[in-house]
Structure 1
Amino acid sequence: MPTPGPQPPALQSPGALAVWATGCGSPEPPFPHPEARLVVAGDQKGLSGGELRDHIDRAAEALTRLRPGPLFCGMRNNLASVLRYLAAWRSGRPIALLDPDLPVGALADLAGRFQPAAVLGFTHAADGSSPRAPRAPRPPSHRDAGHPPEPHPDLAVLLATSGSTGNPRLVRLSRRAVLANAAAIVTALSIEPAEIVPTSLPLHYSYGLSVLNSHLMAGATVVLTEAGLLERSFWTHLDAHRCTSLAAVPYQYEMLRRLRYDRAEHPALATFTQAGGRLSEELVKEFAAHADRFFIMYGQTEATARIAVLPPDRLADKPGSAGLAVPGGRLAIDEGEVVYHGPNVMMGYAETAADLARGDDLGGVLRTGDLGRLDPEGFLHITGRLKRIAKIFGVRVNLDDVERLLPASGPAAATSGDDRVTVWTEGLDAAGCAGLARRLGAELRVHWSGFDVRSVDRLPLLANGKIDYRALESHA
């Protein structure tokens, strides 16, 4: 089992982290920072310094008794999950951070493919168990003979790519990629040790994990809460702990507007950040007025979360822009596709345990699958998608998976919009459309309001008989 190198005791400034993120600094910055603090919502004391280090060390010691291989963690927004994650980091063991509420069949499929050393923290599996569920036999190329090879020594974190749909591949993130992106975000957002941020997003989601990583690296405070933004307890704890920053996806900002968010009621909250899809310019202006700083960001799990940041002082003159590449990164456009170069790019995808032994397949170059352009100042503007992938409230959804769930009684199609999937079907009345939206939400485990189901007399077709998606998107 690989062990991390010595960590320097000196505290790291945003400037020093910026140098390290560009590949010029050595050794790696301490993670977590010696002054970082974890606080369970409602508990003012929290863990920091030597006490936090001791908790991590004890959890890491327990991991050494497991056989080699990845750890599967049902990653909740609680102290046990975060300590497990940091213990895996400390011990050099790769850890897959997954939705803790994965259905037993989906978890069994992942466990069968990746053969984890342990399965911990899941709702539908006892800790340490190997979940079992009936599944179709795999082709011979997917069968493991004996024990799989040990994971690559650079491998640190595994995240699922496809949200709640299908059988996800796992994104292989190296230790350097995680640290580089955290350092870049500390620099781009000027995160100081005085910052206090709540876990407003799931920690198995790359954006939520990035918030945790960047604040731990900066020596800031993270308030761990499993309450959602629509729950009164979330705001009670946010105010009690005097949280200074809030991260959210577009859907959450829409909900805050409906709740008539009033800054005067939360005087300590000075910074908003947003990623996970395009936020309307109207909402950008509204919430920029509610904060001292509002950062718009663009990213992908394959880049350890964040690729570009739009500084608050450019919101007005760069409307709709995703911003500039994060420190240490570079953006390019190749035949219309956004290509990102940087140390935070994944090592590659993994389909089975054997893939975990692979090295870096991409060499720091990520073809994002998004269409875009760079303006003369290098600011990125996203104009569309190459692939049929949508985001509903920050969760990736494959539109082909959506269509496979649609009724077989007639033609139907799915197209993507801003934080929504539009489903086009023939012959349904209003009640039928509403019922289909709720069924899709239940099947794909995202809120049903993310599906806009519309009935049309006839779906437009191309000359070859296939659905004309461009025609549908023009009427969305």
Structure 2
Amino acid sequence: MDGFPHPDARLVVAGEPGELTGDLLAARVERTAQVLAGLPPGPVFCGMRNDLASVVRYLAAWRTRRPVALLDPDLSAGALTGLIRRFRPAALFGFAHAVESAPRGRRDADDPHPDLAVLLATSGSTGSPKLVRLSRRAVLSNATAIATALAIEPGDVAPTSLPLYYSFGLSVLNSHLAAGATVVLTDAGLLERSFWTHLDAHGCTSLAAVPYQYEMLRRLGFDAKEHPTLTTLTQAGGRLRPELVTEFSGRADRFFVMYGQTEATARVAVLPPDRLAAKPGSAGVAVPGGRLSVADGEIVYEGPNVMMGYAETAADLARGDDLGGVLRTGDLGHLDDEGFLYLTGRMKRIAKIFGVRVSLDDVEGLLRDCGPVAVTSGDDRVTVWAEGLDRDACARLARRLSTELRLHWSGFDVRAVDRLPLLTTGKVDYGALEART
């Protein structure tokens, strides 16, 4: 099994006594592996919940070298059916909606490439038309790199605070299993009392969260002192406001800022806690084994964790490595003289207002002091979605943007929302906002 999971790795079901480790875990995985081995060639689709059955299926697929697509278990029947028709899985497990049976056999497509291990959707909420093809080498190398960069040790315990079909959430699982550490499986969210009850009961030492979750924790008055075993906080999934980086880094022994992409399995860069003060706003340095560079303003990452490429149909699963370990990220940024990465926006997050090009990420950056905001564009205007503002505050915000960007105020449509819509990964659902315009 390529040393994965580590023989000392442990799985714990939140709220239940005991744990699965060593021979017990291996036997459970082997039983499921025998089921998978009896299926026709092709990938399996797993509705990946934060539960034991899902994780065992994932490890069984790894054990049998069968590609597994880790998908949102609550995908709509229509989205799931579309994926089935295009990728022809050998079997489906764990989905909420009943759909037509997956085609048996693959007479019209070659078998998947032997290096292919994991398939992740580029959009967790919709079952994106593209799946990211990750090799065994990519998964293992990134799990090891993360464990090294975060100094994960066998005594560490992490809860599943993010969906396991999301690359950040999966990376928490993989890195801890690779290091011989413990993962506590829970479907409870950070806003549920039961999550914190289980975190304390199982002695969790770290917590992974995306920016919106940190915004919520701040509103709730999160105090790490109430959770004595919790020593490490990690953040990825978007840029966290600098003041929140400062605030939460003061609430834990270690606070890691990270940057990554699904196309790089998970992590691309990590900012060590001891460099937070000296490198404010940085996303850190490349993970062990990786290299960062900039080409025409675009961040380029090279490393063994880069995907094999995208897949849009079953035929694509038979392809080998299309990228050769080089990923053009689509993110804009620069490196300082020590190789620390600073992100400035997305190449495609550009709008035109009255003929002037405006970065939507820059607009969001200007408004970070206003609380949670999201920015979309359309019809020669930029729409700002802001939580909890009244009509007068919206008007003031439009005038402020007009002044700072030196564009007429009518180019900014500021709208108040009670809550920004979120993907299940915790990121802002820009598609849902654009549908409202």
TM over 0.5: yes
Letter in 1 for 2:59: L
Shift of 1:214: 0.1
Is 1:312 matched up with 2:277? no
What is the distance in 1 between the residues matched to 2:307 and 2:426? 29
Structure 1 residues 436 and 414 mapped into 2: Cα distance closer, same or farther (>3 Å)? farther
What is the distance in 2 between the residues matched to 1:448 and 1:81? 23
Q: Of 64, 73, 84, which aligns to 2:57?
A: 84
Q: How does 1:209-288 map to 2 (within 5 A)?
A: 209-288=170-249
Q: Of 57, 68, 83, which aligns to 2:41?
A: 68
Shift of 1:328: 0.3
Shift of 1:446: 8.3
Is 1:204 matched up with 2:176? no
Tell me the residue number matched to 1:300: 261
Tell me the residue number matched to 1:111: 84
Offset from partner CA, 1:270-315 (integer Å, 9 cap, x none): 0000000000111011111111100000000000010000000000
Letter in 2 for 1:62: V
Q: Of 374, 380, 395, which aligns to 1:421?
A: 374
Would the aligned equivalents of 1:437 and 1:449 in 2 still touch at CA under 8 Å?
A: no
Tell me the residue number matched to 1:124: 97
Offset from partner CA, 1:350-384 (integer Å, 9 cap, x none): 00000000000000000000011010000000111
Letter in 1 for 2:307: M
Tell me the residue number matched to 1:183: 144
Shift of 1:445: 7.2
Shift of 1:145: 9.1
After the TM superposition, which parts of structure 1 deviate over 2 Å for at least 4 consecutive aligned residues?
A: 128-131, 144-147, 162-168, 413-430, 433-442, 444-454
Tell me the residue number matched to 2:396: none
Identity %: 67
Tell me the residue number matched to 2:122: 161
What is the distance in 2 between the residues matched to 1:332 and 1:232? 43
Tell me the residue number matched to 2:74: 101
Is 1:327 matched up with 2:288? yes
Tell me the residue number matched to 1:35: 8
Would the aligned equivalents of 1:196 and 1:243 in 2 still touch at CA under 8 Å?
A: yes
Q: How does 1:143-154 map to 2 (within 5 A)?
A: 146-154=107-115
Would the aligned equivalents of 1:414 and 1:421 in 2 still touch at CA under 8 Å?
A: no
Shift of 1:163: 3.2
Unaligned 5+ residue runs, structure 2? 352-357, 366-371, 384-389, 392-412
SS in 2 for 1:43: coil
SS in 1 for 2:57: helix
Offset from partner CA, 1:121-140 (integer Å, 9 cap, x none): 010126x9339xxxxxxxxx
What is the distance in 2 between the residues matched to 1:368 and 1:335? 12
Is 1:346 matched up with 2:319? no
Would the aligned equivalents of 1:200 and 1:229 in 2 still touch at CA under 8 Å?
A: yes
Offset from partner CA, 1:374-411 (integer Å, 9 cap, x none): 1000000011111249xxxxxxxxx9xxxxxxxxxxxx
Structure 1 residues 98 and 327 mapped into 2: Cα distance closer, same or farther (>3 Å)? same
SS in 2 for 1:185: helix
Structure 1 residues 373 and 425 mapped into 2: Cα distance closer, same or farther (>3 Å)? closer
SS in 1 for 2:208: strand
SS in 1 for 2:120: strand
SS in 1 for 2:245: helix
SS in 2 for 1:290: coil
SS in 1 for 2:257: strand
Would the aligned equivalents of 1:420 and 1:450 in 2 still touch at CA under 8 Å?
A: no
Would the aligned equivalents of 1:424 and 1:453 in 2 still touch at CA under 8 Å?
A: no
Is 1:56 matched up with 2:16? no
Structure 1 residues 115 and 362 mapped into 2: Cα distance closer, same or farther (>3 Å)? same
SS in 2 for 1:63: helix
Query: Number of residues paired by the alignment?
Result: 390
What is the distance in 1 between the residues matched to 2:78 and 2:420? 18
Alignment RMSD (CA, Å): 3.1
SS in 1 for 2:142: helix
Given the two structures, how large is their TM-score scaled by the length of structure 2?
0.83
What is the distance in 1 between the residues matched to 2:419 and 2:276? 38
Q: How does 1:328-407 map to 2 (within 5 A)?
A: 328-388=289-349
Tell me the residue number matched to 1:468: none
Unaligned 5+ residue runs, structure 1? 1-6, 8-27, 132-143, 390-398, 400-412, 460-476
SS in 1 for 2:344: strand
What is the distance in 2 between the residues matched to 1:438 and 1:165? 23
SS in 2 for 1:31: coil
Offset from partner CA, 1:14-40 (integer Å, 9 cap, x none): xxxxxxxxxxxxxx4x10000000000
What is the distance in 2 between the residues matched to 1:288 and 1:448? 21
Given the two structures, how large is their TM-score scaled by the length of structure 1?
0.76
